[in-house]
Structure 1
Amino acid sequence: MSGHTTTFLDGLEALAASPLSPALEETTRLRLLDWLGCTLAGAASERARLGQMLASAGDGPAPVIGTGQTVAPLSAALLNGMASHVVELDDGHRYGITHAGGPLIAALLAMAHDPRMDQARFLKGIVLGYEAALRVAIACQPEAKLNGWHGSGVFGVIGAAMGTAVALGFDRVQLNAALAAACTSASGMVKAFGPGSELKPYNAGHPALNGLAAALAAEAGFPGPEDILDGPHGLIEMLRGSPVPPGALSVAPPYCIETVYLKPYASCRYAHAPVEAALRLKAEHGIAPADITAVQVETYGLAVHKHDHTEIDGPYSARLGIPYCVGAALALGETGMAAFSETALNDPETLRLMRATRVTEDPALSALVPAKRAAHVSLTLRNSSEVATQVDLPLGEPEVPLRAPDLRAKFADLARTAALSEARITALADAVLDPQTDPRTALSDL
């Protein structure tokens, strides 16, 4: 049988059979370090609610990051996946509109105790999981998002399943079965993040859980159809509403793990270009927050819907709101974890600027997506003058990358929120990034 499913699995098998180059291994370890920092900070931020879930997680060998406890693998996948997305600092992909790393690494770590998964297979599973999640996501976006699907929940389950399957050494029949089980589990709604909701981290937890379950079902011998991605009832057309051309699921360099963005700011990626533009204007013109009477953000359409609110009800809605994130950047100069502290969330000047911010679509900027995800920001000042600038691609995209030292610094900042000592932070980063060290060892007792 030929089609997207066959092309996709052929490509994944070929990539799985090739050793990782030193450069690709370094990239993989950096993605793992970034995931670890996000997960430590998320676990610390949601200690009470995640702790309540942990209480019924069941005994087992899989570590739950930030707790020092081990539980049953499926529970660990859920909890670590959720924690990875709490602080909105996990990586993503502008073409795939998906956070692939959170669910994937949570699922892999949950099975890292399995004797079949050595260091090389663990790292290979990360590479393959990113590739699997994001190749399918790119084929389905932006139509899937416009139809209401949330990419992390939908495509994250595919990455988690296929990464785990490769790391455990599945054969072709098992790989196909894992893909089929993952596809029938694929779900996640944009509407779930409406006013008052704090469910967004669940859409990084449930695909980790379901992806691992899909791999285990395949290993147990439950076969799936050989064309789960193809045709009118295949996943791709179900999500996007139309076919994609042949070759859309081809696996080739640059691999998706190399083309994700890394976040420097602790907010939804849609807020990053506006925040960066606001910071630039403030620095270049020496503007005091009190001098600003109005803020206008013009950006692309996908960034406006559900991200233009000028009232917040806590850190979750604040992280998703362009007006709040811009307000905190202008008033406090904060873009990281401190921007969403209780003090910041109640800062009068931040809230004034948030309510003075208007976010609208510029069709010309929408036409640039996904090659550019731009924002044009203008500030109106008390003397009636106006200053403006545009950011086409925010920091962290492959074209304007965060380098290894930047990611180490980001990790250290996040790990401090989890109360890790400076010595422990340095030792963890060294262990994850050292090519002679098995990174799973460093993660096993966190």
Structure 2
Amino acid sequence: MEITKQFAKFIVNCTYESLPKDVQEAVKERILDTVGAAVAGEHSWKGKEAYLQAARELYPGTLAPWGSGEKSFSLGAVLTTNCAYAHAVELDDGHKNGGCHTGAVVVPMALTLGAVLGRQPQEIMTAIVLGYEITYRILEQLPPTQIGRGFYPSSQLDVFGAATVAGKLYGLDEEQMANALGFAGQQTAGFMEITVNGKEDKCIQVGSCAAKGLAAAIYAREGLKGCLTVLEGKNGFFRAEGKDIDLEKVTAGLGKEFRIRDTYSKLYPMCRHAQAPVEAVLDFLEEGAFQPEDVVKIWVGTHQVAYNLTGAIKEPHSQSDSKFSIAYGIAAALRDRCFGMKHLTPVYYEDPELWKLAHKVTVEVDPQVQSVYPGKRGALVEVTLKDGRVCTRELYDLKASPNNPVGWDTIVQKYTNNMEGTLPEDVTKKILDIVSHFEQEYSSQGLERLLHC
């Protein structure tokens, strides 16, 4: 049986009641984490107004995206916009070793489409779990070949998650759901070059997965036939982007093992590949290992992908540069003992003092770190001090990763920090209360209304 059909059977028959309790709780963490990232993105993404103007012209309609009451956009445009916001400032979650940001697409899509269709919160939560599940199961077979061949995982794979969410919320049957996944596979697009040139607005590339997934589900609902062998076929997705794929593993344990558990949260608004050395320096400072003025130089050993994405920039000149620079992240950590949204603003990323600190950092590919990638993604950090001491740390399991969980309270604190200076405090509290008890709410309309403030 084709993998699309196996997935479809599982998607259609999965219910909220069949989800383990920890998975039900994990969904609420993913909702809160992503909503906070999206609100921060909506307020901080420099390309927002230009994008909205383009969307008004390209996709007119009667709906409004988050952060606005302007009902001038189509459903596809609203879904794309909300998802783009969630990815805009690199605060969205991701797979523990797959380089894919799934929450940025499946969570806003489920919340918005669920509200439009009048679905109940438990239905929305189930759709979110399924969106992660299908995306991650396909993703697991691809690192590191996919990135090595130049494909950007999020914009390639999140279409499958989006189609899953839409298909579940539209109530597609098994045949329709399989066709939707078939259509999704034919609409994947996006290359790693976006992290080199054009990364200022790469969130559009990720957000557009929502519109493509929506289209896939609607095509299937209307009876069109998707490519059912799009994954395992001799000219299909796995052959194009992977190597030595174990097809049995793709569906093994389906319905018993839930991949949403393999999700990390970001505690810093920057590329995940830059975060291990930044966290290591913050840990040193918290432990009192040294003071910032004691530092002579810092050496970071990382893997090739992290070096390519985040190893070169020492003097950022844009928000996007600041999110993709290990050296700048370390400089901010040294001086300010944190790395937060303020560090994505010009007054910080163009600060000569931070540039000077960044030039103390050397980033190289380390054979040891490279040898365990992609099963582990981290860094070696050596801090040389004025008194001759060298503080060394090897870090792979960052805080808020599956092997180093932080719990609900830390996710709430991150959410609260992200919302500061964006929505009114009473709205922030109301959103938190709704998400905390999401499965008990009678309607998702209340949350959607608050997100339009």
Alpha-carbon distance in structure 2 between the residues aligned to 1:175 and 1:236: 20
Alpha-carbon distance in structure 1 between the residues aligned to 2:432 and 2:302: 36
Q: Give the letter for the 2:82 counterpart.
A: N
Alpha-carbon distance in structure 2 between the residues aligned to 1:195 and 1:6: 38
Identity of aligned residues (%): 26
Matched, 1:433 2:436: yes
Q: TM-score, structure 2 length as denominator? A: 0.91
Matched with 2:70 is 69
Deviation, structure 1 residue 26: 2.2
1:376 counterpart SS class: strand
For residues 225-236 of structure 1, the aligned pairs below 5 Å read: 225-236=227-238
For residues 213-224 of structure 1, the aligned pairs below 5 Å read: 213-224=215-226
2:383 counterpart SS class: strand
Q: CA 1:192–1:261 in 2, change beyond 3 Å: closer, same or farther?
A: same
Q: Give per-residue Cα distances to partners, 1:377-425, cap 9 Å, x unaligned.
A: 111233443222221211111111121111111111111232x222221
Question: Is there any run of 5+ residues in structure 2 with no aligned partner, and where?
Answer: none
Q: CA 1:295–1:37 in 2, change beyond 3 Å: closer, same or farther?
A: same
Does the aligned pair in 2 maintain the 1:26–1:433 contact within 8 Å? no
Alpha-carbon distance in structure 2 between the residues aligned to 1:333 and 1:344: 14
Question: Is there any run of 5+ residues in structure 1 with no aligned partner, and where?
Answer: none
Alpha-carbon distance in structure 2 between the residues aligned to 1:20 and 1:444: 28
Q: TM-score, structure 1 length as denominator? A: 0.93
2:404 counterpart SS class: coil
Matched with 2:448 is 443
Does the aligned pair in 2 maintain the 1:136–1:249 contact within 8 Å? no
Q: CA RMSD in A?
A: 2.1
Matched with 2:32 is 33
Q: Give per-residue Cα distances to partners, 1:204-256, cap 9 Å, x unaligned.
A: 21111211121122122211133221132121111114432423233244412
Q: Give the letter for the 1:67 counterpart.
A: S
- Which residue of 373, 376, 383 maps to 1:372? 376
For residues 6-405 of structure 1, the aligned pairs below 5 Å read: 6-16=5-15, 19-46=18-45, 47-53=48-54, 55-56=56-57, 57-61=59-63, 63-70=64-71, 71-115=73-117, 117-195=119-197, 197-250=199-252, 251-285=254-288, 287-309=290-312, 310-405=314-409
Q: Give the letter for the 2:349 counterpart.
A: L
Alpha-carbon distance in structure 2 between the residues aligned to 1:440 and 1:259: 29
- Higher alpha-carbon deviation: 242-251 or 35-44: 242-251
1:64 counterpart SS class: coil
Alpha-carbon distance in structure 1 between the residues aligned to 2:18 and 2:51: 37
Alpha-carbon distance in structure 2 between the residues aligned to 1:158 and 1:224: 13
Q: Give the letter for the 2:446 counterpart.
A: T
- Higher alpha-carbon deviation: 225-234 or 264-273: 225-234
Q: Give per-residue Cα distances to partners, 1:137-189, cap 9 Å, x unaligned.
A: 11222211111111110001110011110121100111111101110111111
Deviation, structure 1 residue 101: 1.0
Q: CA 1:290–1:102 in 2, change beyond 3 Å: closer, same or farther?
A: same
Does the aligned pair in 1 maintain the 2:160–2:213 contact within 8 Å? yes
Q: Give per-residue Cα distances to partners, 1:324-375, cap 9 Å, x unaligned.
A: 1111111222211122222211222321122221111222222223443221
Alpha-carbon distance in structure 2 between the residues aligned to 1:16 and 1:120: 9
Q: CA 1:383–1:95 in 2, change beyond 3 Å: closer, same or farther?
A: closer
